[in-house]
Amino acid sequence: MFQEKEAQSDQEPEIERVAVKIKALMLGLDQAGKTTILYRMKLGEVISAIATNGFNYEEIKYKNYDFEIWDVGGKEDIRPLWQNYYKDNPKAIIFVVDAHETDPQRIQEAADELQKLMNLPQLKEAPFLIYANKHDLPKAMDSSEIAEKFNLEGFKDQKWFIQACCAKTGEGLYQGLDYLMNHFDNDQAE
């Protein structure tokens, strides 16, 4: 989308890009790194985060996009409240997985929560960006291992992408946003 500014005298008109707004929900189990990711992208630094009991909201301006990100707490007793956030039809879901998780029950719990979201009719059109956070730690699961353990191959009609990342260094975070931008750029072109 382009908007032309009014030309002054005999100068060439300037072209101004209008930002595309994307509402995204950031979900995942507690301690996966959602809040650290959000503020790493917003502030460019790591903040001391405590468990989110409600939500955090920030706008992340990146290239020609304005990502309105709602980071919603992931504790078990808060997860039923997720439905209050996705009923407003978010354009994208960012699901954060602790790629360094070693507890099989927690891995299955994260897989179950992601599958529930991917099966919701109101989220069928939303692309899922899955951040595999803490991938820099020893023995972290890689993308193919996460796809297998989370049974993502079974979601052939759902658009999803796994991006390895490290919230503390910022590695991989913007590549994830690039995936979402490419998705929306391709949608607009169709």
Over the stretch 134-182, which tens digit does the pLDDT of each residue have? Answer: 999 999 999 999 999 999 999 988 999 999 999 999 999 999 999 999 9
Query: Per the annotation, does 29 bind a ligand?
Result: yes
Query: Per the annotation, does 52 bind a ligand?
Result: yes
How much is the pLDDT for 9?
Answer: 45
Specify the fold of 20-189: Rossmann fold (3.40.50)
Query: Per the annotation, does 74 bind a ligand?
Result: yes
Contact by Cβ (8 Å): 102, 139:
yes
Query: Per the annotation, does 32 bind a ligand?
Result: yes
Query: Per the annotation, does 31 bind a ligand?
Result: yes
Distances (CA, A) of 109 to 79, 81, 105, 139, 185: 12, 17, 6, 19, 33
How much is the pLDDT for 11?
Answer: 55
Over the stretch 63-99, which tens digit does the pLDDT of each residue have? Answer: 999 999 999 999 999 999 999 998 888 999 999 999 9
Q: What are the φ/ψ torsions at residue 46 (nearest 5 degrees)? A: -90, 130
CA angle 79, 138, 175 (to 5 degrees): 65
Contact by Cβ (8 Å): 79, 54:
no
Query: Per the annotation, does 100 bind a ligand?
Result: no
Query: Per the annotation, does 11 bind a ligand?
Result: no
How much is the pLDDT for 3?
Answer: 41
The more confidently predicted of residues 4 and 130 is 130
Percentage above 90 pLDDT, the chain: 77
Query: Per the annotation, does 49 bind a ligand?
Result: no
101 has pLDDT over 90: yes
Query: Per the annotation, does 10 bind a ligand?
Result: no
Query: Per the annotation, does 36 bind a ligand?
Result: no
The angle, 0 to 180 degrees and rounded to 10, between the axes of the packed helices 34-43 and 173-189 is 80
190 has pLDDT over 80: no
Where do the domains of the chain lie?
Answer: 20-189
Query: Per the annotation, does 183 bind a ligand?
Result: no
Contact by Cβ (8 Å): 85, 72:
yes
Contact by Cβ (8 Å): 124, 155:
no
CA angle 100, 103, 106 (to 5 degrees): 90
How much is the pLDDT for 4?
Answer: 40
The more confidently predicted of residues 178 and 50 is 178
Query: Per the annotation, does 133 bind a ligand?
Result: yes
In whole angstroms, what is the distance from residue 28 CA to residue 110 CA? Answer: 7
